[in-house]
Structure 1
């Protein structure tokens, strides 16, 4: 399938891989989750009208609403709406035809959508997770869940977040490869548009931050589904979760705000009529924030038992990270002062975002001081500060919707309605959030507060409904524009300066009539096919590439199919806890606090799990054998990755993310062992020889993978099949030894829930074994392809990419072997 149905067809949106279509899907879905999270907020704000609660919600319903609101807004709205802008605009801004991997781009959307559906279903599975969006241990495991009947719904929430992180990881790899390797000729990194710069740094943060969160969510889901003991003990589990979560959580603040900042840069330039003041220093400041964002996470943990010296260091890094933001704020102010401001709707929202962010930043400095944090932590001061920072980003994102609406829709909107939207939004925002500073003595996530605080909460509730009304005005403005708005010109903004405004509104499917180039110092379009008629090697290559690009594919049903398979599989997993409880009780040594507390097993969940695996296996196979053409740009700026192909660079980026996952899992082992006392740790493996044998087996398999690449380069089919077959057999041998090792421990009565040492051993080595299994499935698929269509003989690169993954898995085992078998 390569041809796209018309945009009025439902089929179009199920099969499309075009970046603009995927961007529209992201934007519309994110706005839906905005409404979902907003309605929950209005529910609990109405409940907070009186000091003891209005009775609108029960205690548990209130906790569910607050938790779901936080999760929806932070994960399912803020990052995805920015991803929607990036999907639509980044290829246009850098002169690319599409993202590097169009099918993976579609797959990232379907994972996002189905993760949100799974989250919504949790309310119908006994109840949504009710432990707050930060999911602090030990309240995040079934043993401490207030209502055990909500275990299945809680599992659905956690697994939905895991599926969402899969979506983020796929999208991150795609954007990094695209921006680094598909920029138009002459477009160096320094000269990229500011929105592209903000998104490039955002996805670099996403790559590592979300990997840390994925590791935390993996451990939590295994605790919930298989009863391991990572977060159910009093042996440092709460501190472990805080480290893992906030190593993600603080970069997430900048992940959310950077795209909004990029929109502010673009709109300030357009509506002041001048280039951003100090542009080079602004970029450097953003790079500094990107790096520093991973060095400040412990300021969220000032109330823990971490020693004062470490807390003081984290206080210093927190204050330090505010300095680059000072530079960015002053750059925006000076750009406005030195330009001629036009107060359009996009500019009003961007200016409003700047004002709100300044207030949010100043109040955040209070929380960065250890002494003041002792007073403010856990109060509504944090709630107010957090929303002044995060929702100021939302303000700029709404400005982005107005700014690019003519380009996306081809229609102009009513400036009168847009300005009314801003006025109502700004009033509602401040009425909602500023009183929360005054009500700072109110504890977070509870509705029992002092009657002296009641007036502040009532004003905030009124503000919440006014803010909600502003979004109704926004939707009405866009709907009216879509139905009866005037046609938009290609460039409705006089001083816009980025490439998307140089083409029609909305843009054509293939983006460009000619090839964009900045070789002359300004944007021009070159007709390579015409130039090729002059003869010569260079022009001949250009003609060949132009011919290939005419046949680029834009449709595939299999990303949607994989999304369905993963959704069904995860839905089945949500109900497996009761079966694991029964199994644990049958062994005679179940974990404490779990006996007799789970729901009755429901046979439908195992059936759904198996069905999901079947759908997933079939659709992944069809995805693998599908002929889909997405050619690389023949002429592009690729510094500093000129010598690396798109797919190879993508594999390296993915493995960098996986390093973080394993690093977090191994770090959890080191942290918990140090917490208990290194010498007090019980060694779980019954002997060192299985680990030593498996080390030899895996190292040998790395050699056979290298042989496979050599045979593929020599176009030796029998040799390639033999080397891949040997790798497969060695991998199966590794799994056999591992199965024997596990069986011995089980026979001795040692299970993964028998203690924290056992949980860490089984989970960490099991995570590695899962990577081995995935590698074996890839090897089986490659052997099938060699036998059926003589694959990899003409193009040996897939064998090389498989080798990179397999060597990574082997290297991880080299670290695990001494940690678990020799120390």
Structure 2
């Protein structure tokens, strides 16, 4: 479909276009809106939790509903908000940064998104069918085995479906980086965000199977009478913790490494300097990923693994602070002597550095096994975790969204509103979570429905809740900014930030084929090299020729819906064997669509070079 036809298309055509798209840029937008929807949902759940804890002996929500809110907040934010929002940034930026016309497997990219969305919907259907998951976002056994509602069944089935989508996305990004870099784009010339996308995808490849196995076993325990985790039948509850955290700790780095990549791009661009110590940043990223698989049992210091195991994991936990420290100092050295511009993405980067450093320091404290007996399952852990995930990942997501918004939508978000958003969110974040360190040290346990009067916990809990309202106000302002920008902001130029990397060499938003001719990369920060030499645009690495593009497909959407139907059928076969028919229908839809795809002669289509020549000289500028 041509650009003119797109402009004239009605709502139905646009909806169909997004239901069938395999274009990485449109899939990035789908991930953005899907992830942001769940971000708002998880935020509402957090607000209800904080309102319940605004004063002692509060009865704003019931104990059972609090357990469901607390469980769904963590599950939603980790699996259904942070991951897809990062995938939105990966999809929009990485293929453009390496000079590719799309990802390696566009069909699989679309399937990954729809599986994530259907999985997230399945998890949240539980709210309307008798109760949401209520055993904590980590679903520790044996509590998660004996929970009476179907909430944990929705949890295990829905997260398996969403996890398939994430695993597909990770494999797709790996193959894209390895095989589709433009001429001259060696691995050591890739932007840091593309590097962190690549390394996070390696972690996804090795970490998510552990979670899938654990959820599979939990499903069999709950629905088919297996006894993997039931100690009364010879099962072992600690095995669940090992499986979960073998996934769960690398997941922290899956979430934070792309944010590190965002900050590397933002700090370099708004300091007008090449990133300090590029090679050391790359190797620090690889080392973080490697060590990330060697520290999972620091979540389990109190389960009785023994002093030798605890010591080994304590040492590994403290060692991972070294490559992280290298990154912090390299960002500071990049800014040192630079021409700093305090645009809103840069504000998030500057707010991130002290916030994440605090999270790292408390992580080292928790890594001391003996001290962890005091900190474990208190609000100290809650504070540490949020300083890492919010102070790191969420700040990175917002910095990346503002930075690449022109590439996604062709508009620049309003800077005044962005600054107000940053300060509301930043102040609210520290008000909410900084004092929770002291609540934990004062003995307040996490996951509890109420706290009692006379324990000295009243004031800090009140301030925490006030801070949560600040964060909510900032988020509402950001949503308003999105809408205002879409309706009133002018068209953005190709390079609104005076960028250094390839995504800023083409129009905002890019044409659906990205590059008419693949660009020639002559070094790190390739666009900046051409600017400093007075070229103003990238030099082509190939003659103007036909471009092959993949066809749109409705099949990924149908396959995902089929798997969701099958999952719900499996959940309810325990209550009524007739639900096996529903499950069978879902599997028929899923595998039938897969068969249609495999039999279809889907070779895509060509854009002829004559069409480019009509548009201009065929350059990338």
TM-score norm. by structure 1 comes to 0.69
> Are residues 1:507 and 2:510 paired?
yes
Q: Corresponding residue for 1:728?
A: none
- Unaligned ranges ≥5, structure 2: 528-537, 607-621
In structure 2, relative to structure 1, the CA distance for the partners of 1:307 and 1:5 (3 Å cut) is: farther
Q: Corresponding residue for 2:65?
A: 61
Q: Corresponding residue for 1:165?
A: 163
Q: Corresponding residue for 2:592?
A: 618
| Distance in 2 between residues matched to 1:381 and 1:529, nearest whole Å | 60
For 1:130, what is the secondary structure of its paired residue? coil
- Give the number of aligned pairs: 584
Would you say the 8 A contact 1:410–1:488 is kept in 2? yes
Would you say the 8 A contact 1:2–1:555 is kept in 2? no
For 1:516, what is the secondary structure of its paired residue? coil
1:486 equivalent among 462, 479, 490: 490
> Are residues 1:341 and 2:340 paired?
yes
Would you say the 8 A contact 2:227–2:235 is kept in 1? no
> Are residues 1:43 and 2:48 paired?
yes
Using the TM superposition, name which of 452-461 and 2-11 deviates more.
Answer: 2-11
1:206 equivalent among 199, 204, 207: 204
Would you say the 8 A contact 1:185–1:519 is kept in 2? no
For 2:144, what is the secondary structure of its paired residue? coil
Q: Corresponding residue for 2:618?
A: none
Deviation at 1:410, TM superposition (A): 1.2
Would you say the 8 A contact 2:135–2:143 is kept in 1? yes
Q: Corresponding residue for 2:435?
A: 435
Q: Corresponding residue for 1:24?
A: 29
| Distance in 2 between residues matched to 1:19 and 1:89, nearest whole Å | 9
The Cα RMSD (Å) is 1.9
* 1:180-200 Cα distance to aligned partner (Å, 9 max, x none): 010001111011001001110
Would you say the 8 A contact 2:520–2:541 is kept in 1? no
2:151 equivalent among 147, 150, 153: 153
Would you say the 8 A contact 1:2–1:628 is kept in 2? no
Q: Corresponding residue for 1:88?
A: 92
| Distance in 2 between residues matched to 1:602 and 1:398, nearest whole Å | 47
Q: Corresponding residue for 2:609?
A: none
| Distance in 2 between residues matched to 1:527 and 1:320, nearest whole Å | 43
> Are residues 1:193 and 2:211 paired?
no
- Structure 1 runs of 4+ with >3 Å offset: 1-8, 519-525, 527-530
Q: Corresponding residue for 1:459?
A: 463
2:112 equivalent among 104, 108, 112: 108
> Are residues 1:379 and 2:378 paired?
yes
Q: Corresponding residue for 1:355?
A: 354
**Aligned counterparts, 1:306-317, within 5 A:** 306-317=305-316
Deviation at 1:577, TM superposition (A): 2.4
1:99 equivalent among 103, 107, 117: 103
| Distance in 2 between residues matched to 1:464 and 1:626, nearest whole Å | 51
Deviation at 1:41, TM superposition (A): 0.7
Q: Corresponding residue for 2:619?
A: none
For 2:519, what is the secondary structure of its paired residue? strand
For 1:493, what is the secondary structure of its paired residue? coil
> Are residues 1:127 and 2:131 paired?
yes
| Distance in 2 between residues matched to 1:206 and 1:78, nearest whole Å | 14
| Distance in 2 between residues matched to 1:281 and 1:358, nearest whole Å | 19
Deviation at 1:123, TM superposition (A): 1.1
Deviation at 1:529, TM superposition (A): 4.8
Deviation at 1:364, TM superposition (A): 1.2
Q: Corresponding residue for 1:246?
A: 245
| Distance in 2 between residues matched to 1:515 and 1:279, nearest whole Å | 24
Q: Corresponding residue for 1:628?
A: 602
For 2:22, what is the secondary structure of its paired residue? coil
Deviation at 1:631, TM superposition (A): 9.7
Deviation at 1:5, TM superposition (A): 7.8
| Distance in 2 between residues matched to 1:498 and 1:324, nearest whole Å | 25
Would you say the 8 A contact 1:3–1:553 is kept in 2? no
**Aligned counterparts, 1:476-625, within 5 A:** 476-494=480-498, 496-518=499-521, 522=526, 524-526=538-540, 528-530=542-544, 546-547=545-546, 549-550=547-548, 552-578=549-575, 601=576, 603=578, 605-625=579-599
Would you say the 8 A contact 2:228–2:235 is kept in 1? no
